[in-house]
Amino acid sequence: MSDLEDYRKELDAIDQELVSLFEKRLAVSKKIGNYKKNQSLPIYDKERERQVLLQNIRQITDKDSEVQVRHFLETVMDLSKEVQKDVRASTVDYDQLFASHPPKNDPKIGYFGETGSFCEEAMLAYFDEAPANPSNYHTFESLFLAIRNKEIDYGVLPIENSSTGAISQVYDLLAKYGFSIVGEQYIKIEQHLIGLEGTNLDEVEEVYSHPQGFQQSTEYFKNHEKWRQIPFHSTSDSAKLVKDSQDVRKSAIASRRAAEIHGLSILADNIQNESENTTRFIILGKDLESNPRCNKVSVVFSLDNEAGTLFKLLRHFAEYHINLIKIESRPVQGEKWEYLLYLDFEGNIAEENVNGALRLLQKNSVYFRLLGCYIAATKNK
């Protein structure tokens, strides 16, 4: 018998012993998973893993094998965490988690801003029929509260802009209130400087706008640094403030429609930085709504603060041939260096590959919520 065959037999015996030991380890991992689930403890314990690695690496007699031993131990611990995640996921009612509701009949609609706002424009573009007596709200949170208190069924508000990015407060409120995105609408945004009829630019001292209006028009204001930029509820509210003030020293950033509604003049048109300035608006509801025509999914989740976790998770979307559209991170309120991740991707929750990816995402997340499954809007509207 050759030396090679002897070595192979020796390895086979060691492998059999390893399999037996690993089965015992997985059995204990299941017990730990049940305990953590019952006590609402996190699966990943960074300090515990560090101690286990140090304790075992100290026992290595052949220091040349330290890298391989470390990798082996990390792999074993990763597999044990997978068992614990399976234990936690086994109690999840996925039918309930992904359950959708029918759309509301004759719904009550609300939107952010004053009459003439871009949100009102998005509302009119989204709904096939102009809603009767829509309500308007002057802060993002007041609109969320209106949905919670059943004053309205759906609310329309902006969530991101092509030139200034995400509207962070809206993302934070989505996490806070747990509502669902039931639709979206893109609107091209043309910002204008407006004021009382007959106002001369030399008379302007103050400009009112939602912060987004200022952010989208920074280049224009480089030539008017003496003007006071005063943040206000919304661009449409700013237009109304200027109208009510009857003060030629006050002006606002708002839409052409807002200027017409309030009888104001356009002092400078198209002051936004980018000609293709576009805002994405979401239609918000209390419950998840979905149908076979829906082709976009939004989720929010958080992960253990462990190297490589996000990569390992997003890798599954490629394996399921799912196109990721956007990922946005927001800090968890009250927690240092903890983040919520908002993910948009193509698909429908009824599709097998999407359902499989969502289950994996839920299983591997510390926190997970399906935000919506809805029809993706075209960006040229």
Q: Which of 232, 281, 301, 317 is catalytic?
A: 281
Q: Single out the residue of 206, 197, 188 nearest to residue 255, CA to CA.
A: 188
CB-CB contact of 213 with 235 (8 Å): yes
What are the C-alpha distances in Å from 294 to residues 13, 68, 309?
Answer: 55, 48, 29
8 Å CB contact between 25 and 75: no
Mutual angle of helices 66-89 and 3-39, in 10-degree steps: 40
Q: How far apart are CA 272 and CA 212, in angstroms?
A: 10
Structure tokens at 156: 């329309």
Whether 279 is catalytic = yes
- Closest to 188 (Cα-Cα) out of 60, 278, 296: 278
Q: Which residue is catalytic, options 164, 199, 235, 279?
A: 279
Q: In angstroms, rounded to a whole number, what is the distance separating the alpha carbons of residues 365 and 312?
A: 12
Classify residue 165 by burial, with Cβ atoms within 10 Å: 0-12, 13-18, 19+: exposed
Task: Count the neighbouring beta carbons within 10 Å of the beta carbon of residue 179.
Answer: 21
Q: Is 147 within 8 Å of 137 (Cβ atoms)?
A: no
Give 272: exposed, middle or buried? Use CB within 10 Å, 0-12, 13-18, 19+: buried
- Catalytic annotation, residues: 279, 281
